[in-house]
Amino acid sequence: MKITLASSSIYRQQILQKLQLQFNCLSPKIDETAIEGESVEQQVLRLAIHKAKAVSQKQTDSYVIGSDQLACFNDQPLGKPGNFERAKQQLLMVNGKSIQFYTGLCLVHKNNQQQVSLVDVYEVKFRKLTEKQITTNLTLEQPYDCAGSFKCEGLGITLFESLSGRDPNSLIGLPLIGLIDLFNKLDIDIFEHMQS
């Protein structure tokens, strides 16, 4: 079974490696501009499907995994901060509050004309932190390419009061529980394809 991850994200690659499946990666190179009036849930699902379909045009005999994620605070998307100052502003804004992560996930096989998809939602509640604690975290971790300004697999865990959702992998952008569900919907037992 051929599997292609429609992503250039090293974080998504590392998550998918947990399943011990052989896969290759191909960047989808699509326009990710939001559509006016589209909800966050609709946007992540549309982009996940678009990414998977774009790559499936080149990998027609492969199961292609597309994923897209947005972090939201008060129904407003939180982008990747890009630098220390923006990351600090983000963390001060959500200090002691909750944000939601919406992850769209799609599995496509062009030759077999198969497509299944879902949206996974995960909530993070932040501790009430001092400005010094936030600065220390950002200086040590430098999570400037991460939505929400943290890496939950690293020091980000020190920022949280609680986590709520189905799959903590969702925070990194690839919900594996949901992905296994999508393979199951296509009658594929991934255990038969795992490698040691």
CA distance 162 to 46: 29
Residue of 68, 120, 167, 187 marked catalytic: 68
Strand partners, 102: 70, 121
- For residue 145, the Cα-to-chain-centroid distance in whole angstroms is 13
Q: Residue 56 phi/psi, 5° resolution?
A: -65, -20
Q: What is the DSSP-derived secondary structure letter of residue 34?
A: P
Alpha helix (H) ranges present in the chain?
10-17, 40-56, 84-94, 131-141, 176-185
Q: Is 68 a catalytic residue?
A: yes
Strand partners, 108: 64, 115
Q: Which residues are catalytic?
A: 68
